[in-house]
Amino acid sequence: KLSSPGLQLAAEIKQQRGVDSTLTRGSGGEFEITVDGKLVFSKKKAGRFPDIGEVLAQLQRDAALDGGA
């Protein structure tokens, strides 16, 4: 079963950014967020699950860098 925090994060991304998320089952407790092939967050690298706010902030920064809103 996909994690509840993962489902919550997907719902929040959809609500805040209007972007549909695809959750893919991993192994070994891995949790990564990629957007257009770019790694936004890696639980394996950070050693923790992401905070919803930090993921949304990173998506906003990335959109600004790409010329979006």
Q: What is the DSSP string of 18-40?
A: ---------STT--EEEETTEEE
Q: What is the pLDDT of residue 12?
A: 86
Q: Phi first, then psi: what are they for 34, rounded to 5°?
A: -125, 145
Angle at CA of residue 29, ends 26 and 30, nearest 5°: 55
Q: Please write the tens of the pLDDT for every residue from 3-58.
A: 678 888 888 888 888 878 777 777 887 888 887 778 888 888 999 988 888 888 98
| Residues 36/19, Cβ–Cβ less than 8 Å | no
Q: What is the pLDDT of residue 46?
A: 92
